[in-house]
Structure 1
Amino acid sequence: MQRLKSVFRHTAINTALSLALLGLLISSFNALQPVDRLVYDSMLRLWPRPATDGLVIIEIDERSLKELGRWPWSRRTHAKLLDTLTQLNAAAIGLDIIFAEPENADPVADRLLAEAIRHNGKVVLPVLPEITGLRKEGIKPTLPLKQFIETAAGLGHVDIELDSDGLVRSIFLEAGFDNRKWRSFASVLLQVHHEDHTLKWQGESRPNTHPSRSNLWWRNQRVLIPFADNSEFQRISYLDILQEKTTDLSLENKIVLVGASAAGLATRFPTPLSGQSEPMNGIELHAQVLNSGLQGFNLIQLSKPLENLLTFILLFATLISSRIYNNKPLIPLLAGMISAIATSASLFYFALSWFSPVAVLTVLILSFPALNWQSMKHIGRTLLFERQRNSATLAAIGDAIIITDSEGRIEFLNPNAEILTGFTLQEASHRHINTVLIGLSTDQAKFWSPSLLLKSDKPVSTCYLKAPNGNEYTIRLSCNPIDMPIHETKQYMFVLSDITETVKMSRRWKYLATHDKLTGLPNRIKLEELIDRNIADEKDNNCFAICFIGFDDLKTIDETLSLSAEDFLISAIAKRLKTCIRIGDSIGRWSNDEFIIIFNRTDDKERIAILAQEIISVLTLPYPYLQDIYSLLPRMGISLYPHDGETAKQLLTKADAARNSVRKHNTPAFCFYSSSKNTPIPNIDQVLELSSVDQRVDNLSPDDQQKLEAIRLRNQELKKTIQSAKSSSKLKRLLSSPFKKT
């Protein structure tokens, strides 16, 4: 009860309220907006959305410009395109081309285009806000010609707003000029496709803040864009549609976007995913918005009042709870940080709302030194006035305490300081602190003098201490002046906090982030880093090979196995692979049943083929587990640097493609990547011979040896059957599943 009462002391509540209000101010005024955006972009990259198949992009690309001539083209051309799309039964067409001026050279072309729009009945045209002056008030809408407006199914604005850092993260579902209002281009297309869709799609309200002013372009209903992989959208050249080269194309119940993608013609916008791909053009941004609308991903920014309330609650609850653990404020502060991150991630992934945890994390990080500093300062004052109680109090402190005079001569050591320094209080008394802490060093200096903190503006330093007992510690050394009565000699308190375990924990976290927990092998992140490091190596004759290994039959076996048996098989595969690689090679786990081997400093296919054969021979050995024996079918694809690619993504993609070329053969095999469609694979007889080679069975039980013998007999029978088979279809049927649980 006494500890609970201390929580509600005025000082504790005032401190918690002050820090919580500080976080509220940071959140309200977006003081850390760049950091907020960095966290948002990182979370967005970790959550890529799938691309829908109900959307087709028709690009005005370089090839189309080369064939059809310089831009702009005759509107007869666009009319012909619309007639073709009408014949293909497109559900809705977004024509992202501005027709604001009549075609004086061919007036009939305007009439033909208007007829094509009317005949289709599902064409949406853009409204473009253009800057006519230097100020925002100079933005005015540019609309299509009247005859096009009358025949179109709808108009949608194509206004795109950049954030202050120059990236596009959101779009406004509504925009207008004075009293006129238009829905966004993508929103109108969705309404044409599904009449009730627009009513279900709402964003963050941001109404016109100057309703009394005229000639003002305004925006409303802001929604965040949950970006998908831009390369997954179906794309077709404008020229191919015009020349009817896509005879097998079906646009039934699909939305079609027509716009420019050629360099110099299309404006490009950087996005949070621009670090992984090129900036997006306008038609691609509309495709991203349509993709989120078609799949129901309505990602919005949490309202500012709700965000402020959530920030205040998280901070106040954490800071109040820290008073219960007054001596260990790190525990509630860490719990508060984890809670803020978990709340943000949960709202982002499940509620499709973005809540920034930056304000909470910043205040909690800043509050830790303050809470720790106040605690140590209070202890120092108590030690000064209570000499008889000093020894007991300081002995109970987990940190090492050294008190010196203004010249650095030692006057007191607590027991922890005696252990760290190897000196007793009597031995260290009146010695200089530099001679007692002689084993100190830093990252910059092999030998470091703690007396430098006496006159330093930064009274805290992280350093390393080698104790007389041979142990090495990472410590946080702080030096604080002690307020003394008048005419008393000034004293300083050195506090040595052992943060060795904290540093080890940090390194452990880094290791877990880059290694697979089950096998201890590098994971996907670490493998990509190793490949990029090899590519960046500027040494002469820089070459290496990527070996992509997969076990398709492991997925089938997993359905009948327990988790412990599945973990056993994966661990056994990893152990066998470790015995197969050379010194200097790297191995890692790519996914559940996929592994990667990096053969460094070689592009000799013959040598690599020998290594691959050795690996297959090891991996095809039976896997005894309890009362059963399992056999697996490894398939390997190999790509070479720099022959097959110059980036990690290219090398991995081509190695996986090589592996896919042997997956149709139900045998263990490997293959090098080749641009040829018919990539050769190892001979079937050779693979069966490899899988039936004599194995060491000394350590197997009699039952396991009988099962292993049954597998060998089955392989011999299969080989004889293959030699006598007269057709490839019969061979494929016989080899449908030669390696299964016996």
Structure 2
Amino acid sequence: MKWPPLTDRTFTGLWLVCITVVLCITGALSRIDNVIYDAAQQNTDRDIPTDVVLVTIDEQSLSSLGRWPWSRRMHAQLIDRLHADGAKAIGFDVMFSEPQKEDLAADRLLADAMARAGNVVLPVVIEKVRSNGQLVETLPLSSLVKHAAALGRVHAELDADTIARSITLWEGLDQPVWPHFAQAMLTVAGQLPGPFSRRAPQVPSRGVAMLTKHDQRYINFSTAQRHLHSLSYLQVLRGEFRPDTFRDKLVLVGSTASGMADSLPTPVSGLRQPMPGVEFLTNAMVSIRSQTLITRAPFWLSTLLACTLALLPMLWLPYSRTRTGLVATIAFAVLVLAAAMALPVWWCVWVPMSAGLLGLLCAYPIWSWRKLESASQFLDSELSRLQQELGTAGQTALGTDAQTLHPDADPFQRRIDQVRAATALLQHWDQTQRETLAFVSHDIRVPLASAAAQIKSELGEHHPTHKQMVRALAWTEDFLQTSRAQMLRPDSFSELNVMALLHEVADDIYPLAMAGGLTLVLDLPDEPVWIQGNVDTLSRAMANLLSNALKFSPPAGLVRLSAKLGYGQVHICVTDQGPGIAPQDIERLFKRFSRLEPRPASLQTGVGVGVGLGLYFVNTTVHKHGGTVTVVSKPGETTFVVNLKT
């Protein structure tokens, strides 16, 4: 079974789908997706929440309170001050996994302060104790865990480019038992939105040494253009803040000092100024509370959308010009890029579109390549056909001449040269044919006219031989005029008044109408209508239409010549009251040597029967003038309409 050849559209579509699917599967453009995501985050300005305060362990605090680690007595004092001022929840991004050996009472004081506050959240860290070692969960001291309101995992997911964009809501060894630190903070404050679970999910076991993650989400950062409200640890410890500064606030305590903070590169900070871990946690908490965490679209949906985007240019490229298609494709790509940036920010859905974008941008060059191949194959077949039809002269023009003109040209350029040579040869032959036809028509016309005059003087004008000579002379004149119409060139046209031309033609035709007992009615505008054209050929064309109307009109019939202006054109109508033209005859009216039989009485009107070139001449002349000829016919009325540009 032989498969039918692929169309250019199908061929291009298959290529685009293959390219897009490969890019999606390999993830080759994932970094570009990340750049698009980061650009959207960097250019979004959101309101900073007023009920979130950072207490920062900064350089000033370290300089005044001494080197880290500080005594846990100070942390206890800090908690007491925050609790006394009415903090709703206190989160410590500080690990207390080992006892303070030099001051064991300090741990007890810290635990007591946490118990009094009742709203302190402590971190859990899952890490490897050594390179390539086993993962372990590091928790705070048991005495502190006992009085902690909640525990949360402090962790950020790093993408392949080492940028932190996301968090996992639940993690743990074997089972995801630990909520994220930001989620734990909101649970303690009673501000965790309903869609978020307060209980650890149950997932299939992977083993006690395996890290299990559940529900990865991306953060809509709030600190792209602004910074969160913060106070120095030293200021809070000394009470250097206004009363109610922390009342009903979510307070996070963490380090921002250089060299000490667990800084992370983020979309809004980049590698130059990494974001402190405590600020990252705050952004995650704000995003959870406002329910603006971003969900990444599943792979199958991203792939399907990417393939759809890549195929969409096939809706307009086959019907567009080269430049229009290119502009439309680029404009659509810009629109898709804007949508890729807007979706995560405003609709909290991230659909990676770089594969679809590249496929979309590949549509134009692949389509152009395919059309170029098709054009090349068509040129080859047509040139081969021309060589066979033109014989030796064609083989010389299409073979030797093109290689002589451009011996080093590429194959496609050589084909173009061959087409030019063939065009020049055909134009030369066409011009030669026209000149020969005009020459022969003229040379035949002169002796025929002399012979007709001699027969008329010797035998009389009613002699059958004279009538045959007159008819032959008329046919020769038709051939000559047709040749002239075919050789018309628009650059030789001059300005003419088409209304004056119609009046002159009507005056010439009027005696024939009177001789046939017909009425010629004119309905022409009084004002002049100017067009660019050739007076002789247009006059003969209109005369042919009026002559045909006389031929097919019944005795005592009426022929109407009218004209009107509209939409930058002049519409000239010639209407007769003849028997009408059958629909199957209308299709061949304007072909060479095609004619309909007139009424018998027309032979007495002096109009005569032509060889079938009259309407062909009309059609050729009107088209050379950039116009059209149409026919509307029904029994008892036929109208020829000529439309010319003004």
Name 1:144's counterpart in structure 2: 140
Confirm whether residue 38 of structure 1 aligns to residue 35 of structure 2: yes
Change (3 A) 1:261 1:338: closer
CA distance in 1, matches of 2:352, 2:361: 16
Confirm whether residue 313 of structure 1 aligns to residue 308 of structure 2: yes
CA distance in 2, matches of 1:215, 1:89: 41
Check whether the contact 1:133–1:139 (CA below 8 A) recurs between aligned residues: no
CA distance in 1, matches of 2:272, 2:202: 34
Equivalent of 2:178 in 182, 188, 192: 182
Confirm whether residue 361 of structure 1 aligns to residue 357 of structure 2: yes
Equivalent of 1:29 in 26, 30, 50: 26
Check whether the contact 1:122–1:153 (CA below 8 A) recurs between aligned residues: yes
CA distance in 2, matches of 1:89, 1:83: 10
Q: Residue type matched to 2:246 in 1?
A: L
Confirm whether residue 217 of structure 1 aligns to residue 211 of structure 2: yes
Equivalent of 2:189 in 177, 190, 193: 193
Shift of 1:253: 1.6
- TM-score, reference length from structure 2: 0.57
Q: Secondary structure at the match of 1:144?
A: coil
Change (3 A) 1:321 1:152: same
Q: Secondary structure at the match of 2:161?
A: coil
Shift of 1:19: 1.9
Q: Residue type matched to 1:190 in 2?
A: L
CA distance in 1, matches of 2:271, 2:129: 35
Change (3 A) 1:14 1:382: closer
CA distance in 2, matches of 1:68, 1:338: 54
Name 1:240's counterpart in structure 2: 235
Q: Residue type matched to 2:214 in 1?
A: N
How big is each residue's C-alpha offset from its partner over 1:506-527, in whole Å with a ceiling of 9 and x where there is no partner?
A: xxxxxxxxxxxxxxxxxxxxxx
Name 1:16's counterpart in structure 2: 13
Q: What is the 5 A alignment of 1:84-99?
A: 84-99=81-96
CA distance in 2, matches of 1:68, 1:151: 26
Name 1:728's counterpart in structure 2: none
Change (3 A) 1:298 1:97: same
Structure 1 stretches of 5 or more lacking a match? Answer: 1-7, 391-403, 413-429, 434-450, 455-478, 494-742
Q: Secondary structure at the match of 1:411?
A: helix
Higher helix share: 2
Count of aligned pairs between the two proteins: 405
Q: Secondary structure at the match of 1:386?
A: helix
Shift of 1:150: 1.2
Check whether the contact 2:152–2:181 (CA below 8 A) recurs between aligned residues: yes
Check whether the contact 1:93–1:258 (CA below 8 A) recurs between aligned residues: yes
Name 1:667's counterpart in structure 2: none
Check whether the contact 1:126–1:158 (CA below 8 A) recurs between aligned residues: yes
Q: Secondary structure at the match of 2:13?
A: helix
Name 1:74's counterpart in structure 2: 71
Check whether the contact 1:97–1:125 (CA below 8 A) recurs between aligned residues: yes
Q: Which moved more, 1:290-299 or 1:57-66?
A: 290-299
Name 1:261's counterpart in structure 2: 256
Q: Secondary structure at the match of 1:280?
A: coil
Check whether the contact 2:52–2:249 (CA below 8 A) recurs between aligned residues: yes
Shift of 1:319: 3.0
Shift of 1:60: 0.9
Check whether the contact 1:315–1:336 (CA below 8 A) recurs between aligned residues: no
Change (3 A) 1:282 1:237: same
Check whether the contact 2:265–2:274 (CA below 8 A) recurs between aligned residues: yes
Change (3 A) 1:306 1:377: closer
Check whether the contact 1:319–1:333 (CA below 8 A) recurs between aligned residues: no
- Which gives a bigger RCO, structure 1 or 2 (Cα 8 Å, sep 6+)? 2
Name 2:517's counterpart in structure 1: none
Q: Residue type matched to 1:139 in 2?
A: L
Check whether the contact 1:206–1:222 (CA below 8 A) recurs between aligned residues: no
Change (3 A) 1:130 1:97: same
Shift of 1:283: 0.6
Change (3 A) 1:405 1:300: farther
Shift of 1:180: 5.5
Name 2:60's counterpart in structure 1: 63
Shift of 1:432: 5.7
Confirm whether residue 161 of structure 1 aligns to residue 152 of structure 2: no
Change (3 A) 1:182 1:303: same
Name 1:288's counterpart in structure 2: 283
Q: What is the 5 A alignment of 1:675-686?
A: none
CA distance in 1, matches of 2:365, 2:138: 57
Shift of 1:109: 1.3
Q: Residue type matched to 2:280 in 1?
A: L
CA distance in 2, matches of 1:89, 1:141: 32
Change (3 A) 1:308 1:480: same
- TM-score, reference length from structure 1: 0.50
Q: What is the 5 A alignment of 1:595-614?
A: none
Shift of 1:260: 1.0
Shift of 1:334: 3.9
Check whether the contact 2:58–2:233 (CA below 8 A) recurs between aligned residues: yes
Name 1:717's counterpart in structure 2: none
CA distance in 2, matches of 1:85, 1:312: 55
Change (3 A) 1:332 1:195: closer
Equivalent of 1:113 in 100, 110, 114: 110
Change (3 A) 1:264 1:389: same
How big is each residue's C-alpha offset from its partner over 1:101-151, in whole Å with a ceiling of 9 and x where there is no partner?
A: 11222222111111110110110000012222333x622111011111111
Q: Residue type matched to 2:377 in 1?
A: R
CA distance in 2, matches of 1:308, 1:180: 29
Q: What is the 5 A alignment of 1:571-610?
A: none
Shift of 1:480: 4.5
Shift of 1:46: 1.8
Check whether the contact 1:202–1:221 (CA below 8 A) recurs between aligned residues: no
CA distance in 1, matches of 2:201, 2:107: 38
Q: Secondary structure at the match of 1:70?
A: coil
% identical equivalent positions: 30
Change (3 A) 1:341 1:206: farther
How big is each residue's C-alpha offset from its partner over 1:562-600, in whole Å with a ceiling of 9 and x where there is no partner?
A: xxxxxxxxxxxxxxxxxxxxxxxxxxxxxxxxxxxxxxx
How big is each residue's C-alpha offset from its partner over 1:517-563, in whole Å with a ceiling of 9 and x where there is no partner?
A: xxxxxxxxxxxxxxxxxxxxxxxxxxxxxxxxxxxxxxxxxxxxxxx
Q: What is the 5 A alignment of 1:608-647?
A: none
Change (3 A) 1:373 1:322: same
How big is each residue's C-alpha offset from its partner over 1:298-355, in whole Å with a ceiling of 9 and x where there is no partner?
A: 2221222222222223333433554444866536634652553354245234311111
Shift of 1:12: 3.1
Change (3 A) 1:207 1:375: farther
CA distance in 2, matches of 1:60, 1:410: 85
CA distance in 1, matches of 2:321, 2:411: 20
Name 2:220's counterpart in structure 1: 226
Equivalent of 1:173 in 169, 174, 195: 169
CA distance in 2, matches of 1:14, 1:432: 33
CA distance in 2, matches of 1:172, 1:120: 28
Q: Secondary structure at the match of 2:372?
A: helix
CA distance in 1, matches of 2:300, 2:202: 17
Q: Secondary structure at the match of 1:93?
A: strand
Q: Residue type matched to 2:86 in 1?
A: N
Structure 2 stretches of 5 or more lacking a match? Answer: 387-396, 421-646
Name 1:683's counterpart in structure 2: none
Task: Give the number of the structure whose alpha-carbon radius of gyration is greater.
Answer: 2
Q: Residue type matched to 1:85 in 2?
A: L
Q: Secondary structure at the match of 2:109?
A: helix
Shift of 1:370: 2.0
Change (3 A) 1:389 1:364: farther
CA distance in 2, matches of 1:52, 1:104: 40
